[in-house]
């Protein structure tokens, strides 16, 4: 398969659209945990019960033409090969837990993959809506409409006092997890993150690094999300998160400006070294690749590097993960081979970009 075709098939269509503040916020996600009233939660459900949940959800949601999401498709985990599941995980469409441990796990996907509904993960339903850039409020509205549409068709477990009943007490109430993926290289470089992140934790929000093959935060990518789901309205939860993200955006922009004023040459050198390594290396580990990609992306955002579209770096962050590398290679690869293929894929991708810009 040609690289161009592979990429167009590998990247979810929703990712290709532009969103607000996309120089810093890569994506916004709204997740709603829901359960069906009459079934045991997946933890205790028997194989028969889990299979009945899939059947009921399928019959309820796949028959109608849904205005909100367009046509939906259901994929059973048991029908997928290990690497196909891995690719869905790397695209953030399913969780590792659904891929590996669920009984009769399944996922319902919209055509542009902006909607994914996991079935029989920790809860019967995990409704997820993904948006490019910073679009939390719009995201909540869309997810809520989809939730209403689903509720017309299946009976949710709901309690006046506790709200939407979930398997884990950490999700009960709204069942809402709102999160944004942020690229914060300047705050990291200027060592301000260490001061900011603990303060954010105190506001009832969680910040996590994005973890790759090892356990290290990669590529200056951070996911900020709400922790509390009970006692506050969905709107308040999202607004609190939005306010904090807005502050982080401002601070990141300010830090980028300071870097450009105080050490433009050093920054330019760093950006171009990383670009050089990505363009010419023959072997590259995922940790180095994501760090270099982060540098190049920063270079594009502050105007030091032209003729490279910001999108290809979002793409490469995903494409250079093990599942995709193996999908592209069409075979299972050892870690050493992956490092080689990763370097090749990045080189080819950057060359493709140069060719189209000439």
Instruction: Mention every residue, 6+ apart, whose C-beta is less than 8 A from residue 98.
Output: 77, 105, 107, 118, 120, 121
| 126 sits in which H/E element | strand 125-132
Residue 6 or residue 158: which is nearer to other proteins going by CB?
A: 158
The interface with other proteins within residues 241-300 (CB under 8 A) comprises: 291
Quick check: 181 binds other proteins (CB under 8 A)?
no
Tell me the closest approach of the beta carbon of residue 245 to other proteins, in angstroms: 17
In the list 174, 179, 321, 326, the residue contacting other proteins (rule: CB under 8 A) is 174
Output the CA angle 60-88-164, nearest 5 degrees: 45
Give yes or no for residue 209 binding other proteins (CB under 8 A). Answer: yes
**For residues 98 and 188, which CB has a smaller minimum distance to other proteins in the complex?**
188
Tokens at 152, concatenated: 């017309």
| Residue 3 CB, nearest approach to other proteins (Å) | 30
Spatial separation of the C-alpha atoms in residues 64 and 160, rounded to whole Å: 29
- 69 counts as binding other proteins under rule CB under 8 A: no
177 is in an annotated binding site: yes
> Is the distance from CB of 208 to CB of 103 less than 8 angstroms?
no
**Under the criterion CB under 8 A, does residue 217 sit at the interface with other proteins?**
yes
Q: What mask, x for binding other proteins by CB under 8 A, covers residues 98 to 137?
A: ------------------------x---------------
Nearest approach in angstroms of CB 318 to other proteins is 18
Between 133 and 204, name the residue whose CB sits nearer to other proteins: 204
- Check residue 170 for interaction with other proteins (CB under 8 A): yes
Dist CA 273 CA 303 (whole Å): 16
Identify how many contiguous H helices and E strands the chain contains and give both numbers. 13, 10
Q: Is 119 annotated as a binding residue?
A: no
Q: Is 347 annotated as a binding residue?
A: no
Phi, psi of 329 (to 5 degrees): -75, -25
- Establish if 233 lies at the interface with other proteins (CB under 8 A): yes
Does residue 334 interact with other proteins by CB under 8 A?
Answer: no
**168 belongs to the binding site for other proteins (CB under 8 A):** yes
Paired sense of beta strands 72-76 and 106-110, if any? antiparallel
Q: Is 188 in the site for other proteins (CB under 8 A)?
A: yes
For other proteins, give the closer residue by CB, 170 or 357: 170
Residue 173 in the binding site for other proteins (CB under 8 A): yes
Pairwise CA distance, residues 309 & 315, whole Å:
10
The whole-angstrom separation of Cα 82 and Cα 335 is 17
CB of 183: closest distance to other proteins in angstroms? 13
Query: Closest approach of Cβ 287 to other proteins, in Å?
Result: 9
Using CB under 8 A as the binding rule, the residues of this chain from 37 to 56 that contact other proteins are 37, 39-41, 43-44
State the alpha helices, DSSP H only, in the chain: 3-10, 47-61, 82-90, 96-101, 136-151, 185-189, 193-202, 234-262, 264-280, 286-301, 310-319, 322-329, 335-357
CB 190 within 8 A of CB 196: no
Q: Choose which of 228, 254, 283, 333 interacts with other proteins (CB under 8 A).
A: 228
DSSP state of 66: P
Q: Is 225 annotated as a binding residue?
A: no
State in angstroms the smallest separation of the CB of 187 from other proteins: 9
Minimum distance of other proteins from residue 217's CB (angstroms):
6
CA angle 255, 214, 201 (to 5 degrees): 45
What does DSSP assign to residue 211?
E
> Of 238 and 312, which has the nearer Cβ to other proteins?
238
Alpha-helical regions (H) of 158-219: 185-189, 193-202
Q: Is 282 annotated as ligand-binding?
A: no
Residue with tokens 């040459």: 265
Binding interface with other proteins (CB under 8 A): 35, 37, 39-41, 43-44, 122, 144, 147-148, 151-152, 155-170, 172-174, 176, 188, 191, 193-194, 197-198, 201-202, 204, 206, 208-209, 211, 214-217, 220, 227-234, 237, 291
């Amino acid at each position: 398969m040609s690289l161009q075709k592979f990429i167009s098939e590998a990247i979810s269509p929703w990712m290709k659209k532009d969103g607000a503040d996309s120089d810093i916020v890569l994506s916004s996600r709204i997740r709603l945990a829901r359960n069906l009233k009459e079934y045991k939660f997946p933890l205790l459900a028997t194989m028969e019960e889990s299979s009945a949940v899939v059947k009921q959800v399928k019959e309820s949601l796949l028959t109608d033409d849904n205005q909100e999401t367009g046509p939906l498709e259901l994929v059973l985990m048991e029908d997928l090969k290990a690497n196909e599941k891995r690719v869905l995980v790397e695209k953030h469409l399913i969780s590792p837990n659904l891929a590996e441990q669920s009984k009769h796990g399944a996922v319902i996907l919209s055509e542009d993959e902006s909607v994914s509904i996991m079935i029989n993960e920790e809860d019967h339903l995990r409704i997820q809506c993904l948006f490019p850039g910073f679009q939390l409020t719009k995201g909540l509205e869309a997810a809520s409409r989809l939730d209403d549409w689903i509720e017309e068709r299946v009976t949710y477990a709901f309690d006046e006092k506790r709200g939407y009943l979930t398997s884990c007490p950490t999700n009960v109430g709204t069942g809402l997890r709102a999160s944004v993926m942020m690229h914060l290289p300047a705050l990291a470089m200027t060592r301000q993150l260490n001061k900011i992140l603990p303060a954010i934790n105190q506001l009832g929000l969680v910040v996590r690094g994005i973890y790759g093959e090892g356990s290290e935060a990669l590529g200056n990518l951070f996911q900020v999300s709400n922790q509390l789901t009970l006692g506050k309205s969905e709107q308040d939860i999202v607004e609190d998160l939005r306010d904090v993200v807005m502050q982080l955006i401002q601070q990141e922009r300010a830090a980028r400006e300071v870097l450009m004023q105080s050490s433009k040459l050093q920054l330019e050198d760093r950006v171009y070294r990383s670009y050089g390594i990505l363009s010419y290396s023959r072997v590259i580990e995922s940790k180095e690749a994501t760090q270099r990609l982060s540098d190049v992306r920063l270079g594009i955002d502050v105007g030091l590097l032209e003729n490279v579209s910001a999108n290809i770096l979002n793409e490469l962050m995903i494409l250079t993960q093990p599942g995709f590398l193996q999908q592209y290679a069409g075979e299972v690869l050892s870690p050493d081979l992956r490092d080689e293929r990763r370097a090749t894929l990045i080189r080819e991708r950057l060359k493709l970009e140069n060719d189209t810009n000439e």
